[in-house]
Structure 1
Amino acid sequence: MAICSFSGNADMYGLGIRIGFYLQWFGKILATWVARKEVTGMRLSESLFIAATFLALIIQTDRDNLRPVEIYIILLLTFGGYLYFVPLYIWRLLIGCDPDLDPSRHPRVRAGKMFSRLNFLLLCSVCVFQLWFWIGRVSTIGRDGCTEFGFLFARVRLNQRGFVVVNVVLYFLLLLCCVVVLGISLGKRWGFLEEKPKRRIGRVRKTALQELQTFINLTVVSIVVAATELTIAWNHITDVNEISSAGQTIPLIIGVGQIVRVLYIMLVTGDDYDDYFSGTNSVDSWPSGSYASGPVSVDRLPPMAPAPGSP
């Protein structure tokens, strides 16, 4: 079968949209080291981008306006930020799930509980869609006589059996991990599982684990960027490498603005995260094994001193 060139959907994965995603990914990684106060807002912005793109993907797929390879590209953008779970879980298996060697337990900036729950729901939704795509949608490739390619560290036919199996297994395992994590969380909340005592680790090891997490994130993001751009080139998709609409300039400008903000803090004002979260709220004062986040609970605040002259 031949490789068929076609005009892509620039409003879904045009150059401005892609660059906007890339800048947010790399900007967030940089911000965790030089502008930690910005990370919370950048996480929210990225999640909103993903949610909006994923919703549009569902609508366009329901209307049958996208070819399978286009869905694949959009899924790379919406799921690319989550793929760091793959090397992370491999690392956990290698260390025997030792919490003292798990970089995800010692983040530079902790996510809030509400954000974590909503992000978890979004992750599960995208995993379910991924499974539907690889099991049900990819099988339609080739009916028009055209071959479509994906990325597996080389050019691979999108409907090649081995490639499909790898992706189905990958997203099934990720979804299974999500279910297990949810079960453990509910078990602890309802008292069926006992909370393990929280342990502290040394600053040197903590920094090393944070650097490992950064390396994992950078590696995964770089691979996803390469996979996206190579997939577009391999499939001869046209009209998606120019910025010509507000739908592309908006994410591009937001991404550029975030990078400029992070660089400004790094070069001019400096990162005052520890001053902002001073005292008991300092990130270094939190238990290293805890998944708790945010400011100190109101239950732990000291009582107010009585007013002068009060009984």
Structure 2
Amino acid sequence: MDSLCEFDGNSDMYGMGVRIGCYLQWSTSIFAENFYGPAVEPCRDANTTFQVAMLAGLVLSTGSPKENAIALEGYIALLFCFTSVWIASLQVLSVPKTDHTNSLNFSDTKRAMRGVGDMLLNTAICSYGIYLLYVGFDQLRRTTCPETIFFFGPVELFGWFRIFLKVVLIISLVGSATSLSLRILSFFQQLSQFISQWGQSYMPQSPCPPSRVRMVKLSFSKLLGSIVGLGIFIVAIELTIAWNNIRHIYECASFSQLFPLVAGATNLSRVVYQLMKSTLEGTTRIEWSY
């Protein structure tokens, strides 16, 4: 199989615009999770879109052996998917709880359905990652120089780290599949309750008036942990690209790169604006805890 030491990267998959767009979207999710709860659900939708797009690109580029497909690029795309799964797990913890004063709780049904979709996507990512680690990478082109990736320092991808990834992904797949089963059960329970009450005489109660001031209890340790975690993923991606001499992925001159860049920047700007507006209007107050 032909090999090479440096190569032109796939700018449509991880070019500068795509990378910055993803970084901005991940940052937006963390920002909303910690500062502005009302934006968590829209951020989950946007993050899911990025996840699906990156997984589709990963499958398209590595699903069948091609002359130009390179194993290291598959790892970089897989790393993007890992990061999106981690961000999604943080967002799940921040979804506002439903007020159970209503017996007909359609919000819970929608939330259960959304949980099924999230876990299904996570399970698909873990499953395809296992395929790549066991089979797919061996069918793709390798570089002449050892593929060096970041794991709190430079390590070779096709060494002990590959075995470590296999173990991590298998454990993740078991966890995702188990969570998926539980979420499917929860969804059908919620759906059954909703359907059983559909024909009953039902008069929705007037919602309680929301408080004029929304208190944000911001945990410094939680925020710092999220920032550090995101920083580690970004460093891992950028150093992997730099250490392996991947060329032509530091420009942003195509629609496929501009679209995620603009989408990520727009989402972040919107959430920051909403928080600043509500803070200046006095409807949001932030309290710090350590």
Superposition TM-score tier, normalisation by shorter sequence:
0.7 to 0.9
Q: 2:263 aligns to what?
A: 254
Q: 8 Å contact 1:139–1:159 — kept in the other structure?
A: no
Q: 2:171 aligns to what?
A: 173
So what's the TM-score if we normalise by structure 2?
0.72
Aligned partners of 2:81, 2:155: CA distance in 1, in Å? 21
The structure with more strand, counted as a fraction of residues? 2
Q: 8 Å contact 1:34–1:262 — kept in the other structure?
A: no
Aligned residues: 241
Q: 8 Å contact 1:20–1:255 — kept in the other structure?
A: yes
Cα distance, 1:167 vs. partner? 0.3
Kindly, what percent of the aligned residue pairs are identical?
27
1:34 aligns with 2:35: yes
Cα distance, 1:143 vs. partner? 5.8
Cα distance, 1:165 vs. partner? 1.2
Cα distance, 1:179 vs. partner? 2.5
Deviations 1:276-309 (A, max 9, x none): xxxxxxxxxxxxxxxxxxxxxxxxxxxxxxxxxx
Aligned pairs (5 A) from 1:99-118: 107=94, 109=96, 112-118=111-117
Q: Which amino acid aligns with 1:241?
A: Y
Q: 8 Å contact 1:104–1:213 — kept in the other structure?
A: no
Cα distance, 1:164 vs. partner? 1.1
Aligned partners of 2:187, 2:39: CA distance in 1, in Å? 31
User: Which stretch of structure 1 is more off in the superposition, 263-272 or 48-57?
Assistant: 263-272
Q: 2:17 aligns to what?
A: 16
Aligned partners of 1:178, 1:242: CA distance in 2, in Å? 36
Aligned pairs (5 A) from 1:229-240: 229-240=238-249
Q: Which amino acid aligns with 2:180?
A: L
Aligned partners of 2:81, 2:8: CA distance in 1, in Å? 21
So what's the TM-score if we normalise by structure 1?
0.68
User: Which stretch of structure 1 is more off in the superposition, 63-72 or 120-129?
Assistant: 63-72
Aligned pairs (5 A) from 1:137-156: 137-139=136-138, 145-156=144-155
Aligned partners of 2:168, 2:183: CA distance in 1, in Å? 23
Secondary structure at the aligned position of 2:61 is classed as: helix
Aligned partners of 1:56, 1:227: CA distance in 2, in Å? 20
Q: Which amino acid aligns with 1:174?
A: S
Q: 8 Å contact 1:151–1:231 — kept in the other structure?
A: yes
Cα distance, 1:250 vs. partner? 0.7
Aligned partners of 2:133, 2:28: CA distance in 1, in Å? 31
Aligned partners of 2:92, 2:253: CA distance in 1, in Å? 42
1:244 aligns with 2:226: no
Q: What runs of 5+ residues in structure 1 fail to find an aligned partner? A: 89-102, 192-205, 276-311
Task: Describe the shift of the 1:70–1:271 C-alpha distance in structure 2 as closer, same or farther (beyond 3 A).
Answer: farther
Q: 2:56 aligns to what?
A: 55
Cα distance, 1:228 vs. partner? 0.3
Q: Which amino acid aligns with 2:251?
A: E
